[in-house]
A and B are shown apart, each in its own frame.
Chain A
Amino acid sequence: DAKTTQPTSMDCAEGRAANLPCNHSTISGNEYVYWYRQIHSQGPQYIIHGLKNNETNEMASLIITEDRKSSTLILPHATLRDTAVYYCIVRVGSRDDKIIFGKGTRLHILP
């Protein structure tokens, strides 16, 4: 079962920052926070992951609270193409584990 809690849906105006929250209060010390998104019917797309430090890449930033019980994915300048379902996932990332998807957050970017 998924070990994260996300809002069902969110709206964000185009050009603004989209901040997607995720609660993972039972996260273990060796589990990473991963974010994926699924745009329409395409395959899930990897966005970013982190352990305890904030992370940034060309797509997004990931802010993890100090107690690691929650995190926020930030899309700095949302475009219409960012409309998708965003999944927050916790996993060890070892050779043996897999991704368990929850319901995710449906993000609507409004023109």
Chain B
Amino acid sequence: EAGVTQFPSHSVIEKGQTVTLRCDPISGHDNLYWYRRVMGKEIKFLLHFVKESKQDESGMPNNRFLAERTGGTYSTLKVQPAELEDSGVYFCASSHIRAGVRNTIYFGEGSWLTVV
């Protein structure tokens, strides 16, 4: 079974440009999460999808960040326009939704973003 996959693995863009990160969750996982880690900081939660709906977007830093999950399968995270402080690694994670069962969350390898 394939794990959580993310694309691109690395991206270097100039300040003011747009970048779109993609996440393919584990097949059948309705929960999808985005996290990020900026240099020297802890891993921070960004948002949580349940299928195509945003369950919790309390961690989104500002309106330059837009996450979508049309159709409830893969998700994209767009940063527009990118700023220097957006540099870091963005992790995607997924888990099942199963009542009465502990739903372990599995992470992808991350998308490294460098804004110059």
Contact = CB atoms under 8 A, between A and B. Distances in A.
Do A and B make up one complex?
yes
Interface of A: 32, 34, 36, 38, 41-46, 49, 93-96, 98-103
A96 B45 contact: no
Nearest to A38: B43
Contacts, number: 58
Contacts of A46: 104-107
Given A42-B110, A45-B107, A46-B104, A95 B97 contact: yes
Given A43-B109, A98-B56, A101-B35, 10 more contacts: A32-B102, A42-B109, A46-B105, A46-B107, A93-B104, A95-B50, A95-B99, A96-B55, A98-B48, A100-B45
A94 B55 CA distance: 13
A101 B36 CA distance: 11
B89 interface: yes
A99 B43 CA distance: 10
Contacts of A96: 50, 55-56
Given A95-B98, A96-B55, A49 B107 contact: no
Nearest to B56: A98
B42 interface: yes
Contacts of A100: 45
Given A42-B110, A103-B42, A95 B102 contact: no
